[in-house]
Structure 1
Amino acid sequence: VGVGGAREDLGLRQIAGPTDPDTVIHWAHTSEMPDPYPYLLGGELLLTAGVHIPEAAGSGTYFADYVSRIVEAGGVALGFGVAPVHDTVPRALVAACDHYDLPLLEVPPPTPFSRVARAVWQLMAQARLAELRRVTEAQQSLAAAASRPDPIPSVLRQLAQRVGGRAVLYGPDGTEIAAAERGTTGAATRESLAGLARVVRPTGTPSAATAATPTSATTPSPTPSSA
């Protein structure tokens, strides 16, 4: 669930931190502890009403310490509830979130934290369902391609389409038997694939090679690929 994917009916407003739409929230957690670090697993939208904030917090390092601990624990966003404790979001908290690149969301009085948490879980369920559908459709398309009279090129075409890159079938000696790609891949991507094939290709005696050779390999590449 992305930080920017919050439902409009919640009235959330981002007031600090980066606005990267790719920032992902895995769950929501409410805490009024001054040090939330021990209670975070990473990936949270932490919700607080500021009950833990001391009166003189704005003149010291309280907010910087608080936000740095959230970031250190892997929290990806902070939601601050306006009212009943604070009429506005403390300026020092806004500054700290900007400094530590932590997205800060203002939660308006009419929106209880339970609604925010429920919205996160609903969006997560929708994302899981969409991913399940995508995987199921890919499996069905690959199975259908495998049943055609020319299964190898058909499967490779479907695989390249699904990964948005290049798919190659190599022989035991590393020879390229067939390939398909979506778009045009460069020489660097082709060499990267050949390198992956060498990693997973057994060498030496059959028994020793099978035991020592990995069954999969990955490498950073500007274009997705599969070998």
Structure 2
Amino acid sequence: MEEAHTMPETIAPAVPPTPPVTLQALLAREDLALRQIAGPAGPERVIHWAHTSEMADPYPYLLGGELLLTAGVHIPETPGTGTGTDTGASSGTGTGTGTGTGTDPGLGAYFDGYVSRIVAAGGAALGFGVAPVHDTVPAALVAACDRLGLPLLEVPPQTTFSGVARAVWQLMAQARLAELRRVTEAQQSLAAAAARPDPVPSVLRQLAQRLGGRAVLYGPDGTEVATAGREAPRGATAALARLAAVVGPASRPGRPTATPAPQPTSATDTLGDTHLAVYALGAGEGFVLGVAASRREPGDHTIASVASVLLALLTGEHHSGAGAARSSALVRLLLGATPDEVAPLLGTGRWLVVQARPEAQAPDPVAASALGAALGSPLVDLGREVVRVLVPADREPA
């Protein structure tokens, strides 16, 4: 088969909204009796779906991340200069034994092209079914998979391709259930942390623990307000701060004054093996949540999003009709109005002044905002040693 192919760069899999299955988990299924006979092995190799094809060039039909299953129907009897009708055999070490023309140069060139197309399409692994077309896995295919780094599985005669595909979906369903359970437990722990006396540090600690990394809360000026979790690898701290500036206030130092596109609310990046993600909190308050972790699971974004909502409530003001009226009163005072003129904007009821003094350290803006959020009032005054919060007199402080 003298056919020339234009080899594009290897594409990334179009990942479906389900957790992938590791190749090791599929090989561990005793009912399938699959055996890896070539290519790299390790926990990092994952499968997103299973697909059967007997096309000589499967590239146009692959999305990436597949376990491609074939019985070798597409293998020509006389590829190139070869003349054999059988294709050799394989053993667990990937070396061919038996009869046939498994070392035919034409056959080797055919399999090199075939495997390279699968790799270029982002295929995760190749499964070759033994019988009824071929009695053994072609030795040239084993060599090509070893050479090009594609895991090759031997599918025994008693295992159907539909059985392999069903096992992949079963493992994916189990992984999906485990991921949903992990996300649910994380949501509950984050909500419980938000109800603690020190809600912001508690939420950050829970988030860092659940994601196995570091969580950082950045203030409107881009400085670190609070952190939790393990230390980030070298360079990751600075990279996370730069990424936070992408979603931070437009007036933050280091950002261009004019932004041509709408300001994003989240952003992701990688630095080596470290995954970075940032989330803008609230509606323009300027706080940003940053996360640095060595891995990124499917449910991590959901967990971080829950944490960002909680932190937005703890650090941001309550935007409502009453809040707008209070802002209007402040503006009028700054413009020279008298207290008697702006008093009606604050309502006719009486107010209580709640004073709080931290025991361990001086109050900070995050702690002050968290106290105001806990009391249900954005009217917070942060002093040098005390925090004062105005709350309506008819509201019982919690």
TM-score relative to the length of structure 1 = 0.88
Query: Pairwise mapping of residues 59-98 of structure 1 onto structure 2 (< 5 A)?
Result: 59=104, 60=106, 61-98=109-146
- In structure 2, what is the Cα distance between the partners aligned to 1:33 and 1:223? 38
Q: 1:94 to 1:163 in 2, by over 3 A?
A: same
Which amino acid is the alignment partner of residue 83 of structure 1?
A
Bigger helix fraction: 1
Q: Cα gap change, 1:155/1:106 in structure 2, threshold over 3 Å: closer, same or farther?
A: same
Q: Pick the structure with greater CA Rg.
A: 2
1:3 to 23, 43, 47: 23
> Which residues of structure 2 form unaligned runs of 5+?
1-20, 80-101, 253-257, 277-288, 291-398
**What letter corresponds to residue 115 of structure 2 in structure 1?**
V
Quote the sequence identity (%): 74
Closer, same or farther: CA 105–178 of 1 in aligned 2, 3 Å:
same
Could you say if the C-alpha distance between residues 75 and 37 of structure 1 is closer, same or farther in structure 2, counting changes exceeding 3 Å?
A: same
> Quick one: which of 21, 29, 32 aligns to 2:54?
32
CA, structure 1 residues 193+71, in 2 after alignment: closer, same or farther (shift >3 Å)?
Answer: closer
Among candidates 238, 241, 261, match of residue 191 of structure 1: 238
Q: Which moved more, 1:103-112 or 1:54-63?
A: 54-63
Please give the alpha-carbon distance, in whole angstroms, between the structure 1 residues aligned to 2:120 and 2:231. 41
CA contact under 8 A between 1:15 and 1:94: conserved in structure 2? yes
Corresponding residue to 1:19 among 34, 41, 46: 41
* Paired letter, 1:175: T
Query: Contact conserved, 1:82 with 1:89, CA < 8 A, in 2?
Result: yes
1:169 deviates by: 1.8
Q: Distance in 2 between matches of 1:39 and 1:217?
A: 31
Which region of structure 1 is more displaced relative to structure 2, 217-226 or 43-52? Answer: 217-226
Which residue of the partner structure matches residue 217 of structure 1?
267
State the Cα distance separating 1:178 from its structure 2 match: 2.0
Q: Output the CA distance in 1 between the equivalents of 2:183 and 2:155.
A: 36
What's the TM-score, normalizing by structure 2? 0.52
Give a deviation string over 1:203-226, Cα, whole Å, max 9, x none: 339xx77x7533223343455665
Q: What is the one-letter code of the residue matched to 1:203?
A: A
The count of residues paired between Structure 1 and Structure 2 equals 225
Q: Select which of 196, 207, 217 maps to 1:159.
A: 207
Q: 1:102 to 1:201 in 2, by over 3 A?
A: same
**RMSD (CA atoms):** 2.4
Task: Report the alpha carbon displacement of residue 186 of structure 1 after superposing the two structures with TM.
Answer: 5.8
Structure 1 residue runs of 5 or longer lacking an equivalent are none
1:25-54: CA deviation from partner (whole Å, max 9, x where unpaired):
111111122222222221111111112212
1:187/1:84 Cα in 2 relative to 1: closer, same or farther (>3 Å)? closer
Query: Which residue number in structure 1 is paired with residue 353 of structure 2?
Result: none
